[in-house]
Amino acid sequence: MLGGYTGKYLDINLETGTIDKKNLDENMTKQFIGGGGFIARILWEELSSDTDPLGPENLLILMTGPMTGTLAPTGNSWYVGFRSPTTGIYGEGRGGGYWGPELKYAGYDYVILRGKSPKPVYLWINNEEVTLKDAEHLWGKDFFDTTHQLEADHPGAKVLGIGPAGENLVKCASIMSDLYRSAGRGGAGAVMGSKNLKAVAVYGSQDIKIADPEGFKEILAEANKLIYEHPATATLLPDYGTASLVNGMNAFGALPTRNFQSGVFEGAENISGEKMAETILTKTRSCFACNIRCTRYTMISEGEYAGVESEGPEYETVDAFGARCGVDNMEAIAMANMNANRLGMDTISAGTLISFAMELHEKGILTKEECNDLDLNFGNHKAMNTLLQDIAYRKGLGDTLAEGVREAANRIGKGAEKYAMHVKGLELTATEPRAAQDSGLGHAIANRGGDHLRPWSPAFTLFGFGNEEMGLTGTADPIIPGDKARVVDAMEKTAVFTDLNGMCKFTVLCNTLAPSHLAKLYSTITGLPFATDDLVKSVDRTLTLQRALNLYKFGMKPEQDTLPERLLKEPAPNGPAKGKVVELAPMLKEYYEHKGWDEAGYPKAERYDELGLGFVKDQM
């Protein structure tokens, strides 16, 4: 077996309780690497258009990559794959922390969970010993309490699991690990809840083989030096965290505010990373093998929100519960962040849902009575925190919102869809695309729906982090559509490659590590010759297979590569992008051409052959 892999995985049927240990297919490792590549290949093989996302036939795949658990910079990531109950299409999430490395140390590259357990259970993996255990006593507990209980029962174990939101099949329920790390997007927590699986505790004590230890040490030293010397990864991220983006995004008019009515928030400074550092930040932390240390640890000891203690909030959370809800109270945001972690909810989608309801209330579409008797005005942070709980427990309006913003708008009617900020059913993230056109394209074409992470191209178009090896140099103009397809495609390459391997994107987003560094890390770990061209091809292979899954298995139409009407038709009311809408059509056309897809957005047959995906053609 190649270095970096344990060579084994677990295939578990929750309905029958059967636990199979299987050998990894080495050919699959060479073609699909790991992470989202493996997930797409397995889902392609096993799921069909009839798969009910919340039915026993859906799979829940807990995945790692070859760098997970190694000392590769930020080699800490785990992934979850599934058909999303929120969107109906490809679902994938990523978490950091320590759980992923522990699974590798236990001897497994991934775990496939199928079927539905007849009663609540948790999975206990202790190296070779793998057992399903009764979880009746854990069902109903929040994720913090669940973790503490399982850590007490299994000293040294790392815990992944769901909170009440997942049990209640809330469509934005996340899978959490290590107390505060979240794979949030697309409702993985609901899939786990639908299987009556509360948690996976894991303990491992085995090594991961590195194929070329001397070569690995050499590239590791170079990579770590670059990270320590880069101003963003050495100073800004550790000092101010991801929320350092708040003031920066606001300056560009790219901070989504009041449900994307604007990209400029007058209260931004009060919820910025700088303000957090001055007030509620107590220390910083890092995930496994990370020398960036961007994680915030915050505590509030007095006042209305005394008792709040959690990691975060991160930038996306600050915007979701802050600017988007018109809230400029940092402590209220920290409370919502902590509760979302306890309840097991994606903060991005939860904030989107609440700001959507706030706008419906503002527009008179929802009355106060229909809002659970809350004064659901923008800026009302108490109401925001109450509604968050109501969504997790499906109370009143919360029950409607728990279906996701697309379905909630359908159920509410009265023109609510106009205010539902999603792509393909997944709620949008914290970049105002009218001020960063490339972000509009990125959201429109992302395989899991309204997603910013494959890639987060504003790192180049707004903040100037280029990538010489991928041809991204000079200064981009974020408010015009020209050349954005090339930018998005280039940024995808490094971002998605980290997602195949188990690394965090913060190693590449600031142009700290280049594709050639990633290729060398991969090559020395696995022992396979691998160059930048191979990296490019591996990413295209993964993204193309994920798109094929959406098109041929999950019923997606290319017409769904679009954005909410507001962003396409309502000119930005203020800020640097005042008067601009997202000019999506020319960017999409250029992107399709760039990818080797036809004008309608379908990858051409020969493209599948070039990428070694000939098996897709049988389903076309």
219 versus 236: smaller Cβ distance to other proteins: 236
State the Cα–Cα distance between residues 595 and 380, nearest whole angstrom. Answer: 45
Stretch that binds other proteins, among 76-84, 170-178, 323-331, 454-462 (CB under 8 A): 454-462
Q: Residue 181 in contact with residue 97, Cβ under 8 Å?
A: yes
The residue from 145, 266, 269, 599 that contacts other proteins (CB under 8 A) is 269
Q: Residue 207 in contact with residue 129, Cβ under 8 Å?
A: no
DSSP state of 262: B
- Within positions 497 to 536, which residues make up the interface with other proteins, using CB under 8 A? 505-506, 509-510
Binding of residue 244 to other proteins (CB under 8 A): yes
Closest CB 274 distance from other proteins, rounded Å: 6
227 versus 549: smaller Cβ distance to other proteins: 227
The residue from 235, 301, 367, 516 that contacts other proteins (CB under 8 A) is 235
**Site map 456..485 versus other proteins, x via CB under 8 A:** x-xx---xxx---------x-x--------
State the Cα–Cα distance between residues 325 and 257, nearest whole angstrom. Answer: 7
Binding of residue 232 to other proteins (CB under 8 A): yes
Binding of residue 226 to other proteins (CB under 8 A): no
The residue from 98, 315, 530, 554 that contacts other proteins (CB under 8 A) is 315
User: Phi and psi for 71 in degrees, rounded to 5?
Assistant: -90, 10
Binding of residue 319 to other proteins (CB under 8 A): no
Closest CB 233 distance from other proteins, rounded Å: 7
Closest CB 249 distance from other proteins, rounded Å: 9
CA angle in degrees (0–180, nearest 5) for 194-61-292: 115
The residue from 40, 294, 345, 548 that contacts other proteins (CB under 8 A) is 294
Stretch that binds other proteins, among 145-153, 170-178, 208-216, 455-463 (CB under 8 A): 455-463
Collect all residues with Cβ–Cβ distance below 8 Å to 382 and sequence separation of at least 6. Answer: 332
Closest CB 253 distance from other proteins, rounded Å: 5
Binding of residue 74 to other proteins (CB under 8 A): no
The residue from 126, 247, 286, 389 that contacts other proteins (CB under 8 A) is 247
Closest CB 451 distance from other proteins, rounded Å: 11
CA-nearest of 358, 316, 306, 359 to 337 is 316
277 versus 528: smaller Cβ distance to other proteins: 277
DSSP state of 306: T
Binding of residue 274 to other proteins (CB under 8 A): yes
Binding of residue 252 to other proteins (CB under 8 A): yes
Closest CB 244 distance from other proteins, rounded Å: 5
- Asked if omega into 101 is within 30° of 0 (cis), the reply is no
At position 118, the amino acid (one-letter code) is P
CA-nearest of 61, 69, 89 to 546 is 89
At position 482, the amino acid (one-letter code) is G
Binding of residue 42 to other proteins (CB under 8 A): no
54 versus 487: smaller Cβ distance to other proteins: 487
Structure tokens at 371: 């809002």
Collect all residues with Cβ–Cβ distance below 8 Å to 369 and sequence separation of at least 6. Answer: none
Binding of residue 123 to other proteins (CB under 8 A): no
Residue 260, sorted as left (phi over 0), alpha (psi -120 to 50) or beta, turns out to be left
**How many residues in the shown chain lie near other proteins by CB under 8 A?**
43
Q: Residue 605 in contact with residue 617, Cβ under 8 Å?
A: yes
Q: Where are the alpha helices (DSSP H) in 502-602?
A: 515-526, 532-548, 565-569, 584-595
Q: What is the largest CA-CA distance in the chain?
A: 67
Q: Residue 440 in contact with residue 452, Cβ under 8 Å?
A: no
Residues near other proteins (CB under 8 A) are 231-233, 235-237, 239-245, 247-248, 251-253, 269, 272-274, 294, 314-316, 435, 452-453, 456, 458-459, 463-465, 475, 477, 505-506, 509-510, 575-576
